[in-house]
Amino acid sequence: MAKHKRQAPQANDPTAPPKAATLKDLLSSEVLNKLKTQADDLKSQEAERKVKELKEKEEARKAEKKRLENDFEYLLANDKSDWRTFK
Over residues 74-81, the mean pLDDT reads 81
pTM for the whole structure: 0.53
Angle at 84 between CA 80 and CA 87, to 5 degrees: 125
Quote the longest CA-to-CA distance of the chain.
Answer: 95
- Tens digits of per-residue pLDDT, 33-77? 999 999 999 999 999 999 999 999 999 999 999 999 888 888 888
Over residues 7-11, the mean pLDDT reads 63
